[in-house]
């Protein structure tokens, strides 16, 4: 067998852009891409990458791979095992057997839907849907999603075989009024999609939470609680 040497080569890469997302903080972001369909998301690019030439033909693709940096994960000593939230936070798995953000090099990969290629002052911005990324996430690269290569319909997905269960979400009148006042398109739908996936840690799933929780979308704090496995949006702090 070939002897394996430890790698001490430092690789330095520069982000090509950043994600503009309604997720103002990590809490409540869906745990994978393509799980929300509302919200205003853009991929924005820095000079010289934002030239229309670099994106010529991209509109022919419906979906893109976004390679990004989990920039909000602190750089720590390598931990070979992680506890995936999907398994309730109690079971350990090898980091490379998971999609955990707590990994060496902090590199993430998400599939997103391309809605529109927009050009403002000769700079490209890609309107997308379905990102699981916090606002200002650095983008390292993007590539078109190619169905016949990337979609393996008989693949085994280990411990992650089904999408999260969706719970019902209700709103108080005051919350509905404030949502309307923001004039953010489809804001109620976005809140419903995000909350319905139960953003609480897995050990709280299935339990009521009489005390109030908050989650930040578009820098607006949304106050909610859980009763009989239903979410109630109580208020918005505008
Ligand atoms: N689809 C990607 C990301 C999965 S983890 C992949 O498989 O690589 C998704 C979680 O990462 C989100 O729920 C959010 O909590 C977290 N996250 C999103 N953007 C982040 C960022 N910039 N820094 C750190 N964590 C982030």
> Which domains are delineated in the chain?
17-150 (2.40.30.70), 169-237 (3.30.2310)
Evaluate: CB of 70 within 6 angstroms of ligand 1. yes
For the record, the structure tokens of 2 come out as 């070939």
- Residue 107 CA: which ligand 1 atom is closest? 8
Evaluate: CB of 33 within 6 angstroms of ligand 1. yes
Distance 31 CA to ligand 1 centre (A): 7
Whether the pLDDT of residue 1 is over 60: the answer is no
Residues 169-196 have a mean pLDDT of 98
- Residue 30 CA: which ligand 1 atom is closest? 13
pTM: 0.95
The pLDDT assigned to 2 comes to 59
Q: What span, in angstroms and rounded, lies between the C-alpha atoms of 38 and 76?
A: 34
Whether the pLDDT of residue 3 is over 80: the answer is no
Distance 2 CA to ligand 1 centre (A): 35
Count of CB atoms situated within 10 Å of the CB of 17: 23
The pLDDT assigned to 120 comes to 85
Confidence band (pLDDT; 50, 70, 90) for 63?
very high
The pLDDT assigned to 211 comes to 86
Distance 132 CA to ligand 1 centre (A): 6
How close are the terminal C-alpha atoms of the chain, in Å? 62
C-beta separation of 16 from 46 below 8 A = yes
| pLDDT above 90: percentage of residues in the chain | 83
Evaluate: CB of 103 within 6 angstroms of ligand 1. no
Q: Sign of torsion, CA 217 222 228 230?
A: negative
What are the angstrom distances between the C-alpha of 16 and each of 4, 7, 138? Answer: 32, 25, 8
For the record, the structure tokens of 127 come out as 């309107």
Task: Specify the residue with its C-alpha closest to ligand 1, atom 8.
Answer: 108
C-beta separation of 221 from 215 below 8 A = yes
Distance 133 CA to ligand 1 centre (A): 6
Distance 213 CA to ligand 1 centre (A): 21
Task: Specify the residue with its C-alpha closest to ligand 1, atom 11.
Answer: 101
CA angle 170, 199, 98 (to 5 degrees): 150
For the record, the structure tokens of 52 come out as 């229309």
Whether the pLDDT of residue 66 is over 90: the answer is yes
For the record, the structure tokens of 66 come out as 């976004």
Distance 71 CA to ligand 1 centre (A): 9
């Amino acid at each position: 067998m070939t002897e394996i040497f430890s790698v001490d080569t430092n690789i330095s890469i520069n982000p090509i852009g950043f994600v503009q997302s309604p997720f103002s903080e990590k809490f409540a972001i869906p745990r994978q891409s393509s799980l929300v369909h509302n919200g205003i998301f853009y991929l924005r690019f820095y000079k010289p990458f934002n030239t229309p030439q670099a994106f010529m033909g991209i509109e022919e693709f419906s979906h893109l791979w976004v390679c990004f940096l989990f920039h909000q994960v602190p750089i720590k000593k390598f931990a070979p095992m992680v506890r995936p939230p999907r398994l309730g936070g109690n079971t350990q798995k090898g980091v490379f057997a998971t999609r955990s953000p707590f990994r060496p090099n902090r590199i993430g990969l998400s599939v997103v839907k391309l809605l529109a290629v927009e050009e403002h002052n000769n700079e490209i911005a890609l309107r997308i849907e379905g990102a699981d990324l916090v606002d200002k996430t650095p983008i390292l690269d993007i590539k078109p999603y190619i169905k016949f290569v990337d979609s393996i319909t008989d693949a085994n997905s280990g411990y992650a075989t089904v999408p999260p269960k969706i719970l019902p979400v209700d709103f108080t009148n005051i919350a509905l009024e404030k949502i309307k006042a923001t004039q953010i398109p489809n804001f109620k739908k976005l809140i419903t999609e995000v909350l319905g996936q139960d953003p609480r840690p897995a050990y709280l799933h299935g339990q009521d939470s009489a005390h109030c929780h908050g989650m930040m979308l578009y820098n607006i704090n949304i106050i909610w609680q859980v009763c009989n496995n239903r979410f109630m949006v109580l208020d918005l702090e505008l």
